Amino acid sequence: MLQCIFLLSDSGEVMLEKQLTGHRVDRSICAWFWEQSLSQPDSFKVLPVIASPTHYLFQIVREGITFLACTQVEMQPLMGIEFLCRVADVLSDYLGGLNEDVIKDNFVIVYELLDEMIDNGFPLTTEPNILRDMIAPPNIVSKMLSVVTGNTSNVSDTLPGATSSCVPWRTTQLKHANNDVYVNLVEEMDAIINSDGALVKCEIFGVVEVNSHLSGIPDLTLSFANPSILNDVQFHPCVRFRPWESEKVLSFVPPDGLFKLMSYRVKKLRNTPIYVKPQMSSESGTCRLSVMVGIRNDPGKAVDSLVVQFQLPHCVSSANLTANHGTVNILADKTCSWSIGRIPKDKAPQMSGTLVLEDGVEQLQVKPTFRVGFKIMGVALSGLKINKLDLKNLPTPAHKGFRAQTEAGQYEVRS
Amino acid sequence: MFTQFGTTAENFSKASTMVFRIGTDAHLYDDPDDVSISPLLDSKFDSEKCEALKRLLALIAQGLDVSNYFPQVVKNVASQSLEVKKLVYLYLLHYAERRPNEALLSINIFQRDLGDQNPLVRAWALRTMAGIRLHVISPLVLVAVRKCSRDPSVYVRKCAANALPKLHDLRLEENATSIIEIIGILLNDNSPGVVGAAAAAFASVCPNNLPLIGRNYKRLCEILPDVEEWGQIILIGILLRYVIARHGLAKESIMASLLPNIFNNENTGSESDTDYLEIKKTYEIGIQEPELVAMVSRSYLAGHDKYLSHLNNSDTISSENTSSRFTSSKNDENVKILLQCTSPLLWSRNSAVVLAAAGVHWIMAPVEEISKIVKPLLFLLRSSDASKYVVLCNIQVFAKVMPSLFGQNIEDFFISSSDAYQVKALKLEILSSIATDASISVIFQEFQDYVRDPDRRFAANTVVAIGLCAKKNPQVAHTCVEGLLALTSPKSINSTSGSMDDEAVVLIQAITSIKDIIKQDPPSHENAIICLIRNLDAIKVPVARAMIVWIAGEYNSVGNIIPKMVPVILRFLARDFPSESIETKYQILNAAVKVLLNSKGEDFHTAKSVLSYVLDLAKFDLNYDIRDRARVLRKLLSCYFSSSGLEEKEDNDEIPLLLAEHIFGETIKASTEMFNNRFYLPGSLSQIVFHAAPGYEPLPEPCSLTESDMVKGLEGPTQTEDNDSDVDSGSLNEEEGSYYSEDSVTASTGTDNESAASESDNNNTDSLINFSDVGKPQEAANGLSEFMSKGALESWLDDNDNPGSSQNVAGIDNNERISSARISIGDISTRIKPKIYTLLDPTYGNGLKVVYKYSSEVSTMSPSLVSVDTIFENCSSDPMTKLFLTHEDYELLDQGSSSESQKDVPDFVPMEKIAILEPGQTIKRVIHVHFHHHLLPMKLILWFNDKKHPVKLRPDIGYFIKPFIMDLDVFSQKESQLPGMFEYTRRCSFTDHLAELASDDKDGDVPSTKDSFLIICESLASKMLSNANLHLVSVNMPVDANLNDASGLCLRFSGEILSNSIPCLVSVTLDGKSFEPLNATVKINCEETVFGLNLLNRIVNFLPEPRLTS
């Protein structure tokens, strides 16, 4: 069971502590933690489970904020980590992003949320829909009201009905003027292209996002035209297992608003939409670099927000890189970022230039990895197709909408 | 330019946040105390109260102590505004334990809120009431929880389930049964949400009370998919434990495949034949190292420590009644249903649920179906970075045990540049363990890319992985060596002088890997050795150089070319000997000797001259170790130098010659693969940190839960819990559940000891209490006589007292009642036997037994320290050395990292070290301890034989006081000063006297000497004084009572709290018939409320404990 949760800013300051059980944890543990993570930055900062002299610590880092949980007894580490992730998600949802200021400004809400989310070290209410009913998120109206009147309460005085229903993720007695439901396939493509230019791994990690604004308690059924391509799936708790096991259809009562109905993975794809070809040749202290980018298999829609990034090796002292399209930026941490945007029709974008190596280094032995980012709207590269969406138990007919998009996930080209 | 842009961006973001901060609580966090908070708290407007509370919350968030506002805040608990209530609750929960007296003021409001219409109010009240953790109100909380567990609102019932662990945490024994009963009710609840919370309560309150699960097993399985995700995680674990304890392991599972020999032994029944076939199939499926599997499954079952201790006689263990310990996952309904209900959970979005479900399948599912868990586990690698690491740690174990499981999915372990270093290292390790002949080429292709990664540490890890792969798959060894040699080539070394340190790591690693591969089969790697030797000139890193010289020396006679090459190389090395680094010098010396021993004829003379040249140089080396080594070698090889000629070998100098050949000539055997052999249950914290975390429990003994246990469990849940924990025993018993407080097992041994002791003392207890029929004492009213009587008392005390102990006597006149007997109790000290606790049991202390008892003497170091007599006994057959007890934080303090080392009173005064403890010897030492808490055990570390053992010293509140000698007047005066809230009473039963009365009756000879009243007084007084360090002030007996009615018998004790010298008065009044169990009313008057209550609880606990005399 978790004993305490700390929120640390990116400078190591303890912004908030919430003791969860009677066995309190002194905040000096945070000082220890910060000292350690400063002294061994690469190994400590990223370890999610740490055994300190007095406690076991779980940490996740989100946008500079460190969420630190302590326990002294055996528990499932993933439970602690998953809970911290959930806390971070809820907070960033409530506060519209995470940073030091926003947490300090809304510390009361953070406390109230934490108190609802965990009781005696065991998660209590983590469903965002219910939390929203219990503790109102800050919005512009309440802020203005509080400026004018001096105070407003954000604590609801009734228990959300959903806590007692058999579909705890759904607010009861919902009424929407416009009934609509949107299904959005958001896919990320992970790919590894090795130094020989061969496609070693290419897979899609996708999410079926549903944005539902439906009255009453609707019952939805979503089916795919080609469910067999799905390698693996993860479901929102609202999805019933039986229909999926027998017929591969998703039957569910949706929560209100935006949620992830399902995540899936499609493995062993053969093609990538674009190619990135880096070439390097080094000679007597300098290294010539050229990178070509182009469309390989036209996905049918425009490839947008194309970015190629890579880390200059340590032994590079300076770099002179130009591109015939887009802009090249070299940041202070030796990250080189070439933003191309949309690929022009008439020419193939190319970046070229020289890297000057440090004194005494003749040849560049290490090879940087190029990370590629892109976005394609309107197409799901996995080829997953939605067959139909049935809505039952609705007072009025609803509007249905479908969309798809693909982004680059961990798309890497080794040189 | 960049910096300018940076500042403007910063300003911009600041400005924009300023806009967003309007209307938030920002100003409260930034300056929480810019206004005075007290008046706001007392304001009649909710909004002002709110502001004040928010300011307090901000101060708490910033780590300041604002407990001084407690009384004012508590008042506001009555507010109707839910926001104020919520904020007050947040404050209360933070501080209640520190301000128990004031916290009590809020109880009435909680009681009122528990009856509120609004379920939210009821739930909050219950949560807070249980959360403030006061022993005094635990009965109230118990009632409230019981009521709320039948509440119509699901949310309230869930909170009731969550309140149970809080209540259990207070460790009040009288509540245990009720808590378990309520858990039973809640586990039966219709709502899945409540069941999940109840499962969590079960896991933290009584994880071993498996009969409770047995009642609902099927239903719990069916409800599992509907339970909330957090509850699922816990419930899966509980169900798994139950199935194993009740039905045993599945014989088709991977856990069962550890015992192929048993199935062999088990004659030729048709069933066992099929079993055996299945086992064979298992091996075909791809378990490569049956030993490893056996180790893993035994570790799961027995826990790592126990497993190691049983390692030697493991055969006997595994073969005993094995057939009965197994069930079938295909035929057994219970196992089937568990697997069925957990398999959809593999699709959960919560990674912890997936891993828990995967763990069940890993342990229970038939081997051929385990592959089901592969895809879900690998999918988890796409979730958050933090969980990726934990999942990989678990996959690593699975992959080691059953490499074929992940053989199809190698590309999931390919490294992405965004992975953290640890993740990369884990992936490499997994890749090298799942590599097969088919996949090895693809993996090598990948490795080639990794070697050129800019992160050189990672590149070095890759080189290690290549070496591991080559060892596992000998047919690729040559390719590996070639690849590795490329890394050592002069071209690659020279070009990167910029990052020499990083590059050196890779180089050293590459040569180490090559060395390991060569070791497997030296003759086939002749070319590699030659190539390395050729590169020697270019390689400047000392460690790498030394390693190559070692290789050259070691394999100097392999093949045809090397024997010619090595002497030449050696001559060059000898020439530059003075400029080499120390490591290389050592290896040059060694190599020269090895070459000499292997050479013949002409070469022998060259080798000899080279060696003697090197030895001469070494003799004048700056490093003393080299000089010494040269001297030793010269002496050892003196036969070679005394006169030339091979015939000398036959001389009488044979011993040094043999020695030299043994040292240098022996070929090195390939060492067995080292793996990290600590295995814990999948998904557990212990598996990640590689040690058993407190509270970690391995799987229960298969089939340890019998039908009769189940029945017993239904009758009396607590009882079976204890039984279970007794059965499990082992080192984990100590940890189990008892993390924060007293252990029932230890306590019971304590009573055993006590009873045994008092038994032995029965003989000389004849006249502990004497009637002295002095009537009323002379007037106590006037001061002088009071003084005199005191003096008289003292002199009387001196007469009867044993020096050093002051609590053993009381002869007190009773001048308050009209007439009552004056009783003086004689030498009671012989009957006082303090409870003996076990600090370390010989079974898991390697034969060292350590027991301790609280001593009645006041510590000589400081009055606030408690002295504890610790007795060390060596039960083993070997002497033990360097016994020493230190505080757990001792090392920490030594490093100076903690600022607390400046305290006036140390927590723990270390005892005198015991240098040696012979077998059978017993040594007593006194340690002085300062407990910070009345109930929490103090963690100590026991050192012996240079090993440390964590042990726990359990506090006994009865010894946090010292006798306070006073007479009855002073007593009653003090008592009258401490009325009302400083006075607490509780009732309990007392039965000790019955045994003695009974034995007295049997004796029959001298009944007249012993009065039943006396026996009662005697036994009560000795019981009290054995368990608490008190002073017996008076024994009051109603004179007009009839013989068999003990009502009105009253014993008074006094003491003073060690830490602050506040007096503490205890009166025990008896009620009932002499020959029946008596009702005792214990009353305590003490200013220190918490202490008083704790002491009261302690007394009420020990008084009814039976005294197991003959």
Instruction: For residue B26, give the nearest of A14, A105, A194 by CB distance.
Output: A105
Chain B residues touching A241 at Cβ < 8 A: 225, 344, 347
Best mutation target, A56, A74, A172, to test chain B (most B CBs within 10 A): A74
**Closest Cβ opposite residue B390 in set A81, A150, A236:** A81
Measured CA to CA, the distance from residue B298 to residue B288 in angstroms comes to 17
Q: Nearest CB to B204: which of A1, A16, A315?
A: A1
Tell me the pTM.
0.69
Q: Report the distance separating Cα B213 and Cα B219, nearest Å.
A: 10
Tokens representing residue B1091 in the block: 């202490």
**Does the pLDDT of residue B285 top 60, yes or no?**
no
**Cα four-point dihedral sign B266, B270, B274, B277:** positive
pLDDT of amino acid B736:
35
Mutual angle of helices B421-434 and B440-451, in 10-degree steps: 150
Q: Encode chain A (415 residues) as per-residue pLDDT tens digits.
A: 888 999 998 888 888 888 888 788 888 888 888 888 888 766 666 688 888 888 899 999 888 889 999 998 888 889 999 999 999 999 988 888 888 888 888 888 888 899 889 888 888 888 888 888 888 877 766 666 665 555 556 666 666 666 666 677 777 777 887 888 999 999 999 999 888 888 888 999 999 999 988 888 888 999 999 888 888 889 988 888 888 888 889 999 888 888 889 999 998 888 888 888 988 888 777 888 899 888 887 778 888 889 999 888 877 888 888 888 888 888 888 888 999 888 887 788 888 888 888 777 777 778 888 999 999 998 888 888 888 888 888 877 888 889 999 999 889 998 8
- The Cβ of residue B44 has, within 10 Å, a number of other Cβ atoms equal to 6
- Whether the predicted pLDDT of B121 surpasses 90: no
Burial B402-412 (b: 16+ CB within 10 A, else e): bbebbbebbbb
Is there a contact between A22 and B686 if contact means CB atoms under 8 Å apart? no
CA torsion angle for A243, A245, A246, A248 (degrees, to 10)?
70
User: Can you give the pLDDT at residue B665?
Assistant: 57
Q: Using one digit for the tens of pLDDT, what is the confidence trace for A333-348?
A: 888 899 988 888 778 8
Q: Give alpha helix (H) positions in B489-541.
A: 490-494, 500-520, 526-535
Alpha helices, DSSP H, located in A221-345: 241-247
In A256-398, DSSP assigns E strands to 257-266, 274-283, 286-295, 303-311, 316-323, 327-330, 335-341, 350-357, 369-377, 386-392
Note the pLDDT of residue B606: 78
User: pLDDT-derived band of residue B253, with 50, 70 and 90 as boundaries?
Assistant: confident
- Return d(Cα B944, Cα B1087) in angstroms, integer: 43
Backbone dihedral angles phi then psi of residue A238, each to the nearest 5 degrees? -75, -15
Q: Is B959 exposed, middle or buried (0-12, 13-18, 19+ CB in 10 A)?
A: buried
Which of A169-173, B91-95, B232-236, B368-372 bottoms out in mean pLDDT, i.e. has the lowest? A169-173
The CA-atom distances, in angstroms, between B454 and each of A131, A367, B473, B518, B1095 are 46, 6, 28, 28, 65
Dihedral angle sign, alpha carbons of residues B443, B446, B452, B455: negative
Write down the pLDDT at residue B663. 67
Cα angle B278-B283-B288, degrees, rounded to a multiple of 5: 155
Task: Report A:309-368 residues touching B (Cβ under 8 A).
Answer: 311, 313-315, 332, 357-368
CA B839-B841-B843 angle, to 5 degrees, is: 160
Tell if the CB–CB gap between A410 and B418 is shorter than 8 Å. Answer: yes
- pLDDT at residue number B136: 80
Cβ–Cβ below 8 Å for A314 and B422: no
- Is the pLDDT at B331 greater than 80? The verdict is no
Q: What is the pLDDT of residues B756-796, one digit of tens each?
A: 333 334 434 333 343 333 334 343 334 434 444 444 434 43
Distance CA A227, CA B594 (A): 68
DSSP assignment of B564-608 equals: HHHHHHHHHHHHTGGGS-HHHHHHHHHHHHHHHHH--HHHHHHHH
Give the strand pairing for B880-887 and B914-917.
antiparallel
Q: Tell me the pairing of strands B914-917 and B938-944.
A: unpaired
Contact B411 A164 (CB under 8 A): no
Nearest of B277, B271, B401, B400 to residue B326 by alpha carbon: B271
Q: Nearest 10 degrees: CA dihedral of B778, B781, B784, B789?
A: 40
Query: pLDDT category, B9, cuts 50, 70, 90?
Result: very low
In a mutational test of the B interface, the residue from A47, A234, A264, A329 whose CB has the highest number of chain B CBs within 10 Å is A234
Q: In what order do the strands lie in the sheet with A316-323?
A: A274-283, A286-295, A350-357, A316-323
What is the average pLDDT score of chain B? 72
The whole-number pLDDT of residue B667 equals: 52
Return d(Cα B20, Cα B274) in angstroms, integer: 72
* Residue B720: band (very low, low, confident or very high) from pLDDT cuts 50, 70, 90: very low
Q: Do B159 and A119 touch (CB under 8 A)?
A: yes
Residue A180: both structure tokens together: 């609509």
Residue with more model confidence, B903 or B955: B955
Q: Classify burial at B1004, counting beta carbons within 10 Å of its beta carbon; exposed 0-12, middle 13-18, buried 19 or more.
A: exposed
* pLDDT confidence of residue A145: 61
Whether A79 has its CB under 8 Å from any CB of chain B: the answer is: yes
Q: What is the pLDDT of residue A67?
A: 92
| Over residues B25-34, mean pLDDT | 73
Residue B326 clears pLDDT 80, i.e. is over it: no
Q: How far is CA B623 from CA B200, B581, B586, in A?
A: 64, 10, 11
Lowest mean pLDDT segment, chosen from B226-235, B580-589, B760-769: B760-769
What residues of chain A, 275 to 304, have a C-beta less than 8 Å from chain B?
Answer: none
Helix boundaries (H) for A106-206? 107-117, 128-134, 140-149
Exposure of B507 by Cβ count < 10 A (0-12 exposed, 13-18 middle, 19+ buried)?
buried
Question: Distance between CA atoms of B488 and B496, rounded to whole angstroms?
Answer: 12
With bands split at pLDDT 50, 70 and 90, how would you rate the model's confidence at B640?
low
Q: Are B954 and B743 in contact (CB under 8 A)?
A: yes
Both structure tokens of B28: 């409260």
Report the alpha-carbon distance of residue B393 to residue B687 in Å, rounded.
8
- Contacting residues of B for A19, CB less than 8 Å apart: 93-94
- Burial classification of residue B613, based on how many CB atoms lie within 10 Å of its CB (0-12 exposed, 13-18 middle, 19 or more buried): middle
- Is residue B1106 over pLDDT 50? yes
pLDDT value, residue B785: 41
**Is a pLDDT exceeding 90 seen at residue B1031?**
no
Q: Which residue has the higher pLDDT, B666 or B701?
A: B701
Of A366-380, B202-216, B268-282, B1061-1075, least confident by mean pLDDT is: B268-282
The 3-state DSSP composition of chain B as helix, strand, coil percent (nearest 5) reads 60, 10, 30
Q: Do A105 and B21 touch (CB under 8 A)?
A: yes
Interatomic CA distance for residues A34 and A52, integer angstroms: 12
By CA distance, what is A204's nearest residue in B?
A: B382
Over its C-alpha atoms, chain B yields an Rg (Å, rounded) of 38
User: What pLDDT is attached to residue B99?
Assistant: 79
Cα dihedral: B545, B547, B549, B555 (round 10): -150
The share of chain B scoring above pLDDT 90, in percent, equals 1
Distance CA B1039, CA B1018 (A): 17
